[in-house]
Amino acid sequence: MSVVSSPPPRALLSVWNKTGIVEFAKGLDELGFELVSTGGTARVLSEAGLPVLSVSDITKHPEIFDGRVKSLHPAIHGPLLARLHQEEDARELERLGYAPVSVVACNLYPFADAAATHPPLSDAALLEMVDIGGPTMVRASAKNHQHVLIATNPDRYDTILAEIRAAGGVKEVGMDVRQGLALEAFEHTAAYDVAIAQELHRRYAGDPVETNVMEEQRERLPASLLAASHQTTTLRYGENAHQAAALYVAHDAPDDGSTLVTASVEGEKAMSYNNYSDADATLRLCRSLSTDEWPQTPHACVIVKHNNPCGAALGATQREAFEAALASDPESAFGSIICFNEAVQLETAEAVGDLFVEVMMAPGYTAEAKARLMAKKNRRLLTLHSPNGRLAPLQRSLVRKPIEGGVLVQTEEPPVIDWTKAKTVTEVQPTAEQLDSMKFAVRVCEQVKSNAIVMVQGTATVGIGPGQTSRVEAVRIAARRAGERAKDSVLASDAFFPFKDGLEQAAEAGAIAIVQPGGSIRDQEVIDEANARGVSMVFTGHRLFRH
């Protein structure tokens, strides 16, 4: 009596990223798998000495249109989608002469990389990087994960081989493994589709980040809000110990260490959720100040605590900027996050000394400065790569705020104020120096939670009143923190004074020049009070709320 042996299990391998594919194929071959592959992947495997069937051998049809169509065929997708636990599907697959596929390795054309090419690819060239057969293969395998193991990430190859060996065969691999791989596969194709939709929206409908939103007819926000990112780090907890948290990197974030999420982190203690949240606020303001608007004071230093600046300054030297920022509110600087717009020098590190700083950020550190800073336990240093050694200015972007049942979207950008059109509304005119201080104060004020008041001397804050429900209370807090330095200071308000009491408090504290948007029904009352007190006041027409 003859024994009919069962056919070997089959694996389908079709990858753009060839990392680890030869080793994976060798492992499958050793486990008795029959290997099927497409185009470039088949060539790589053949050159490695592995027996491999081409997809064309299975479909009996050549690849066509320069490889645009190769795997889209019932002989491929029938085995991927057959419900082998249903007798009717199993019989139909056998009738058609199609062998089941048990393992698939597939990753997609690098569309996001192609979209980021400089100079940009033409539309026609970019569309060639839209993978069709790959996502179809991945989704079919993931849908039928009860019978197909799908690997979209080369990091999973060793795990799959180990699971097959441990289970004693591919059919015995557990459902938890299958579900995990299927979920990762759907996430892979979802992120891919997001990258395509976002880039084509930018090309075909206009980039909302670059469009002037003040020109209503040109504003084109996406019809569908799409986002894709992948988890890189599990954080110990969220804002509080009972909350779970993780760090995700956006699929289109540059992989060059230039952003907060990709910055290199040094230090014995891991970054926390609150560290990243505060670091984002710190970096945002430091980028906003890292411009060529103040050529005599090019060095910027920003100190943030609980998402609000407690000190910000520009200086002729880096140490000068740090010491001025620290003097704004040295008490709140304890346990803060500090950002510099240029590489940290030894004299700055020495000035920081043993101050308790959770995180420091900069485009770099001299070896001596790094050694001095890292001598303090539990201090983290973040390095944000910058080709010219200086933080890039804040660029316009879209920001999202989740709310119940949806998301709010707006642009994020430094306040664009035409100072030639700003209006002095008082009898006393601000001096050139005061106008320069106003420009600095407004730039800082835009990054402070509302209601916000910022008092400055030159290009350094001396008192900040953040996040109050009453504007006059924000003035009181800023004045109290400024103390004697409030005398002859310049004050910025993120919105108009609804009553004259805020201006009264500012003048009594010592402010002699005020910049605010204007627009209150009681503006004249406030102007009259400023005139009575000899205070100059400028209306910009630009509100700067940050909620």
What are the beta bridge partners of residue 424? 538
Q: Rounded to whole angstroms, how far apart are CA atoms 178 and 157?
A: 13
State the amino acid at position 491 in one-letter form. L
Read off φ and ψ for residue 491, nearest 5 degrees: -120, 135
Q: Rounded to whole angstroms, how far apart are CA atoms 168 and 496?
A: 73
Annotation marks residue 143 as catalytic? yes
507 neighbors 516 (Cβ within 8 angstroms): no
325 neighbors 460 (Cβ within 8 angstroms): yes
Which one of the listed residues 143, 230, 376, 385 is annotated catalytic?
143
Which one of the listed residues 26, 73, 230, 306 is annotated catalytic?
306
What are the beta bridge partners of residue 365? 344
Q: Is 99 helix (H, G, I), strand (E, B) or coil?
A: coil
Q: Rounded to whole angstroms, how far apart are CA atoms 179 and 493?
A: 54
322 neighbors 352 (Cβ within 8 angstroms): yes
Annotation marks residue 449 as catalytic? no
| 461 half-sphere exposure, CB direction, 13 A CA radius | 37
The closest of 43, 65, 66 to 54, measured between CA atoms, is: 43
| Residue with token string 């994020």 | 412
Please give the DSSP secondary-structure letter assigned to residue 150: E
Token pair recorded at residue 371 = 């050694």
Token pair recorded at residue 357 = 């700083």
Q: Which residues are catalytic?
A: 143, 306
